[in-house]
Amino acid sequence: MSTEPGAAAPDLSRLSLNTATTKAWTLEQAVEGAVAAGIPAVGLWRDSVAEAGLERAAQLVSSAGLRVSSLCRGGFLTAADDAGIAAAREDNKAAIVEAATLGTRELIMVVGGLPAATGPNAPAAPEGDRDLVAARQRVSERIAELVPFAAEHHVRLVLEPLHPIFAADRAVLSTLGQCLTLAEPFPAETVGVVVDTYHVWWDPDLEALIHHAARTGRLASYQVCDWSLPIQANPLLSRGFMGDGFVDFSAITSWVREAGYAGDVEVEIFNQEIWDAPGEQTLQTMIDRYRQLVAPHL
Amino acid sequence: MSTEPGAAAPDLSRLSLNTATTKAWTLEQAVEGAVAAGIPAVGLWRDSVAEAGLERAAQLVSSAGLRVSSLCRGGFLTAADDAGIAAAREDNKAAIVEAATLGTRELIMVVGGLPAATGPNAPAAPEGDRDLVAARQRVSERIAELVPFAAEHHVRLVLEPLHPIFAADRAVLSTLGQCLTLAEPFPAETVGVVVDTYHVWWDPDLEALIHHAARTGRLASYQVCDWSLPIQANPLLSRGFMGDGFVDFSAITSWVREAGYAGDVEVEIFNQEIWDAPGEQTLQTMIDRYRQLVAPHL
């Protein structure tokens, strides 16, 4: 424990374990681990929910008394062909139903990359469509189509700006500002945004954008992990514990607080070394770092 | 050659070889290579200029009849301690004098990263200052101090936004918009910006920002190379020949043309495989790709 004996440790009432952080655990183990560590909420991933079975997953989490802070993830909306568009629509409708069943309003959306970066030969031999402006337009169109279904199910499509390192192959939404612009035509309770420190820490407009997101009622989730160097061969796995990289958690967390965000703070880390460690140890480090670097600024 | 026999190949009158692209060549070899290939301009690096000797370098380039489209680079302005600030000031003054001596107005500025990412133990064990807002403020202050000296020497400080992948360790200026805001208080002939496709291709505001840069007379350089995947262990070396990655050169080059930019187009590629190839072959591929993917949109 990092807090001194006798000092009041910041409470964990807003901490959420995104279950990708303890990837080796089943959903059942993650739920047990969170409860044992005093963490009151979990962010879930569709693959581990599917593995447990949707109804059973909902039951597990609810009987453990945990909140579900978000479901990861819908998205992958950039296909330009009819079959791809139809498949994405069906998959996202399924994700919306899953979110509603699990008792969360917040469905995180990773919108997908360029067709040239997602074909059978990509990324080694890119062929095909590099039109980023058109890919972004298709994302707007797909979101517009999903909004009525999401609203019916009281689920919010939470647009996630991904770090520009992923603009080619994973998400053509690269900034919080871009997500807010896309969200604007739709009700705040149906299209929101997430601030994930790994993806947006570098943004020169971040403070103003966080305020804008919160003021308009669209700030749906605050996810924390660090930007570590050197970048891993798979940059997705470069995420680290808070304090192991270069993110200024005091500044960003203060902006989130000042903007009025009062929701959960999810720790979501993809990192092979952390995945190889025992889950209980991961939870303890995550709690220590949250208490040291995040909670004091909330 | 990629152009068909009989078809008029786009001319090379605006093409510039950034000598980092042919890293294995001395300055003399790069000058000879450019002349032999019909390339009328070069972008120079301070280290290869120093190796040749400043006066001799100026002489070499000028007697070959080449334009110098830019000098790379000044910058590294984020130090917070007096000694670091003074050292950066002296080094940048030297770079300004070098640019003037070489006959270019355009000194490219890579402004430096966070102190926490540039210490002796970084990036493996980050300690110290992660205050990105303050680091950016120091860059503004250092630029303000350099402006009079640059103006006296008729040299422009050309702010380079680097891809956010480099925000921690190389440049706290991450977007073209941020560079334009920083430049605004200063005359356009003394503080400009560069559009390097590798760094800015993902920016959702890119078209508007290129127009803004050109309209205000600050668009000092257009540099082209591709964003290739997978990211190399050293992301600096992930740059590829145009066409080998995911950048939409027709869109970005059209924006640059429509905005009224009429200057040189520098090809600047850092890539170990390309560096290991014979320089003449590199120049030929670069010319072919320029003719196919860039020149038709200029």
Q: What are the DSSP calls for A47-116, one per residue?
A: HHHHHH-HHHHHHHHHHTT-EEEEEEEEE-----SHHHHHHHHHHHHHHHHHHHHHT-SEEEEE-B--GG
> Which of B136, B165, B228 is opposite residue A231, by nearest beta carbon?
B165
User: Tell me, what's the pLDDT at A119?
Assistant: 63
ipTM for this model: 0.94
User: Tell me, what's the pLDDT at A127?
Assistant: 76
Residues of chain B with pLDDT under 50: 1-6
Size of interface A-B (CB pairs under 8 A): 112
Determine whether the interchain pair A136/B245 forms a contact, defined as Cβ–Cβ distance below 8 Å: no
Average pLDDT of the residues of chain A? 94
From A293's Cα to the closest Cα of chain B, the distance in A is 13
Helix axis angle for A132-152 and A82-102, nearest 10°, is 40
Listed by start position, the domains of chain B span: 15-118+128-297
Q: What would the mean pLDDT of A63-80 be, rounded to a whole number? A: 97
Determine whether the interchain pair B164/A165 forms a contact, defined as Cβ–Cβ distance below 8 Å: yes
A15-297 architecture in CATH? Alpha-Beta Barrel (3.20)
> Which of A136, A203, A248 is opposite residue B130, by nearest beta carbon?
A248
Query: Cβ contacts (< 8 Å) between A229 and chain B: which residues?
Result: 117, 122-124, 126, 168-169
Q: Is B126 on the interface with A (CB under 8 A)?
A: yes
Backbone dihedral angles phi then psi of residue B186, each to the nearest 5 degrees: -110, 155
Place of tokens 């000598």: B19
- Span A128-173, pLDDT tens digits: 899 999 999 999 999 999 999 999 999 999 999 999 999 999 999 9
Determine how many CB atoms are found less than 10 A away from the CB of residue B293: 20
- Span A255-274, pLDDT tens digits: 999 999 999 999 999 999 99
Does A4 score more than 60 pLDDT? no
Q: Is B134 on the interface with A (CB under 8 A)?
A: no
Q: Is B183 on the interface with A (CB under 8 A)?
A: no
What residues pair up with A222 in beta bridges, in sequence order?
A: A195, A265
User: Tell me, what's the pLDDT at B59?
Assistant: 98
> Which of A126, A130, A229 is opposite residue B117, by nearest beta carbon?
A229
- Span A177-219, pLDDT tens digits: 999 999 999 999 999 999 999 999 999 999 999 999 999 999 9
Residues 6+ apart with CB under 8 A from B122: A229, B116, B169
Residue A298, CB-side half-sphere exposure with 13 Å CA sphere: 21
Determine whether the interchain pair A251/B133 forms a contact, defined as Cβ–Cβ distance below 8 Å: yes
Q: Which tokens is B298 given? A: 């200029």
User: Tell me, what's the pLDDT at A6?
Assistant: 47
For domain B15-118+128-297, give the CATH number: 3.20.20.150
